Amino acid sequence: MATETNCPHSLAAAVREAAAKGLRGLLVTSTVPGEGKTSLVAGLGRALAVSGPENVLLVDLDSLHPTLHRECGLAKGRGLGDLLEEVYQFDLMKEDPTQFGIGDWLELLRAQRRTGELRVADGERGFTFQIVRGSICGISGPVAADEARLGEVLLRNGRITSQQKEAALRVQGETGRPFGDILRKLGNIPDLDLAGALEEQANRRLLGLIGLQSPECRFREMAEPCLPAAGRLQPEMPEGHRIDKLVNGRLLGYLKDPFLSNRVASFLSDTGLPNLKVLTAGTRACDLHGQRFNGAFRLLLSRLGRVFDIILMDAPAVSMASPTAALSSAADGVLMVLRADGPEVETVRKAIEDLRHAGGNVLGVVLNQADAKSSRVPPARAGSATGRRS
């Protein structure tokens, strides 16, 4: 993607085409301040909102020198920094747990990297998520019939023998250790086979969890070493990442999250266009470099991506002091804004290399304040800074 800002309709069309390919969250940055990226983000957002049906969100990522709100004719107001601090980092243990749905609990515990057990119950029927540093490493719950038990699943699939099953059950009765862990330690089953069976079992339990009519959630925080000591699933069990991916992937849309849905929406500013909203930088500066806010921002961006068709993020210029490179991998793509009489090609190349090294998908450049007759812009300049990550 390489274009000039004197062709706004072409740029809007290019962004719309990228969104159709799944690149809906775009981070817009530059090599140095003053390249005109903020005005471009505001203008592009308005162009998209006027010319199409898409819901568009503009986000100001520059908490130190925010200007997007002014370009959009808005007050600075409460925005991104306030949202991350007040919604994603408040003390869960001091709040009324009944205001949170299952989706709220799992997302907030992930943002805060908490470790412990989340109990989800409806009357006598309940399930327990084992969570380590915010990631789900296991789920336990009631078993409707013997054939749903792990040993029966493995036996039915021909992964263990009845003798191996009985031997593991005896050890479990004496030690209280997880059944799958015992099979691994005895060398009865490889990790891959165990992971598949545990994922099948988890699927059954998750289907039961979705069917709960009025679930209540309670979280019990624990030190990480206490989970295996209490006879729970160990963090290094092979199915852990698969269950976490399952819950935060296909299952995500079925988990209720009334708290986050309502609170996040309250931080978005309206514009004169019904399908264009702005998340200003806010009144609190937040370090998006650091783990505390970086992880929460990624969760927020994922949440906003389920609501908006196109998200344009106005990021600070690329430098060691800015969080732009660290945030680039959270976006679907990165656009570089270059002023026609701005930095040299080598400076641009270095900035793009930094973005790609951090995991950013650099889609191309937008040449700002360009004069087609100017001889100051080398013909190969835009092309040299354009490319898609392989």
In terms of Cβ atoms closer than 10 Å to its own Cβ (0-12, 13-18, 19+), residue 37 is: buried
> 106 and 250, same structural domain?
yes
Report CA torsion sign: 167, 169, 174, 178: positive
Which of 341, 378, 389, 381 has its CA nearest to residue 365?
Answer: 381
Asked if residue 148 is part of any domain, the answer here is yes
Residue 201: which of 243, 248, 250 has the closest Cα?
243
Same domain, 115 and 206: yes
Query: What gap in Å lies between CA 141 and CA 119, rounded to an integer?
Result: 10
Q: Is residue 365 part of a domain?
A: yes
Which residues of the chain fall below pLDDT 70? 1-8, 143-148, 224-241, 342, 369-390
Which of residues 256, 276, 302 is at a domain's end? 256
Q: Looking at the domain assignment, is residue 94 inside a domain?
A: no
- Indicate whether 359 and 243 sit together in one domain: no
- What is the number of helices (H) and of strands (E) in the chain? 16, 12
Task: Report the alpha-carbon distance of residue 257 to residue 107 in Å, rounded.
Answer: 9
| Residue 230 located in a structural domain | yes
CATH number for 49: 3.40.50.300
C-alpha atoms less than 13 angstroms from C-alpha of 238 in its C-beta half-sphere: 16
Q: Are residues 338 and 229 part of one domain? A: no
Q: Rounded to 5 degrees, what are φ and ψ at 97?
A: -65, -20
Amino acid identity for residue 219 in this structure:
F
Report pLDDT for 370.
Answer: 58
- Predicted pLDDT at 240: 56
Closest CA to 141 of 150, 152, 129: 129
Contact 52, 270 (CB under 8 A): no
390 part of a folded domain: no
Q: How far is Cα of residue 286 from the mean position of the Cα atoms in its chain? A: 18
- Give the residue numbers spanning the domain of 169: 101-256
CB 316 within 8 A of CB 322: yes
Same domain, 194 and 217: yes
Q: Is residue 306 part of a domain?
A: yes
Same domain for 324 and 354: yes
Residue type, 94: K
> Which tokens hold the place of 160?
């263990």
Q: State the pLDDT at residue 369.
A: 67
Residue 155 to residue 189: CA distance in whole angstroms: 11
Among 256, 285, 301, give the residue marking a domain's end.
256
CA neighbor of 194 nearest in space, from 234, 248, 224: 234
* Residue 136, φ and ψ in degrees, nearest 5: -80, 120
Tokens 């991916």 appear where? 245
Q: Which phi and psi (to 5°) does residue 279 adopt? A: -105, 100
Number of domains making up the chain: 2
pLDDT at 232: 45
Do residues 229 and 310 share a domain?
Answer: no
Is 19 within the bounds of a domain? yes
Which two tokens mark 23? 């690149």
In this predicted structure, what is the pLDDT of residue 190?
85
Q: Does one domain contain both 187 and 223? A: yes
pLDDT at position 230: 43
Looking at residue 62, what is its pLDDT?
92
Summarised one tens digit per residue, pLDDT across range 113-133 is 999 999 999 888 889 999 999
Q: From CA 183, how far away is CA 370, in angstroms rounded? A: 67
The reply to whether 145 falls in a domain is yes
